[in-house]
Amino acid sequence: MLSSPSAPVRKGLVVPFPMAFRPADDLLRAPQPRVFLSPPHLAGGEMVALQATLDAGWVAPAGPVPLAFEEAVAQATGLDHVLAVASGTAALHLGFRLLDVCPGDEVWTSSLTFIASIGPAVQMGAIPRFLDIDAGHWTMDVDLLRAELAAAARRGRLPRVVVPVDLYGQPADMPAIVDACAAWGVPVLSDSAGSLGAMQHGRHAGVGAKLVALSFNGNKIITAGGGGALASEDAGLIARARHLSTQAKEVSAHYQHETIGFSYGMSSVLAAVGIAQIAALEERVAARRSVHQRYREGLEDLPGLGFIAEPAWSRGNRWLTVIRIDPAEAGVDRETIRRELAAQNIESRPAWKPLHLQPAFRHAAIAGGAVAAMMFEQGLCLPSGSSLPPADQGRIIDIIRRCCRV
State the pairing for strand pair 127-131/106-110.
parallel
| Contacts of residue 251, Cβ cutoff 8 Å, sequence gap at least 6 | none
How far apart are CB 213 and ligand PLP at their closest, in Å?
7
Tell me the residue number closest to ligand PLP, measured at CB. 88
Instruction: Enumerate binding residues for ligand PLP (CB under 6 A).
Output: 87-89, 113-114, 116-117, 165, 191, 193-194, 215, 217, 228
How far apart are CB 312 and ligand PLP at their closest, in Å?
23
Of 190 and 404, the one with the shorter C-beta distance to ligand PLP is 190
Q: Is 372 helix (H, G, I), strand (E, B) or coil?
A: helix
How far apart are CB 172 and ligand PLP at their closest, in Å?
11
Of 214 and 302, the one with the shorter C-beta distance to ligand PLP is 214
How far apart are CB 387 and ligand PLP at their closest, in Å?
19
Encoded amino acid at 102, one letter: C
Q: Which residues pair with 270 in a beta bridge?
A: none
How far apart are CB 189 and ligand PLP at their closest, in Å?
11
Of 215 and 348, the one with the shorter C-beta distance to ligand PLP is 215
On the CB side of 389, how many CA atoms lie within 13 Å of its CA?
A: 7
Of 165 and 382, the one with the shorter C-beta distance to ligand PLP is 165
Of 118 and 299, the one with the shorter C-beta distance to ligand PLP is 118
Report d(CA 112, CA 195) in Å as an integer.
Answer: 15
Q: What is the CA radius of gyration of the chain?
A: 22
* Closest to 94 measured CA to CA, from 206, 192, 241: 241
How far apart are CB 38 and ligand PLP at their closest, in Å?
10
Neighbouring C-beta atoms of residue 51, cutoff 10 Å: 11
Of 228 and 306, the one with the shorter C-beta distance to ligand PLP is 228
Q: Which residues pair with 298 in a beta bridge?
A: none
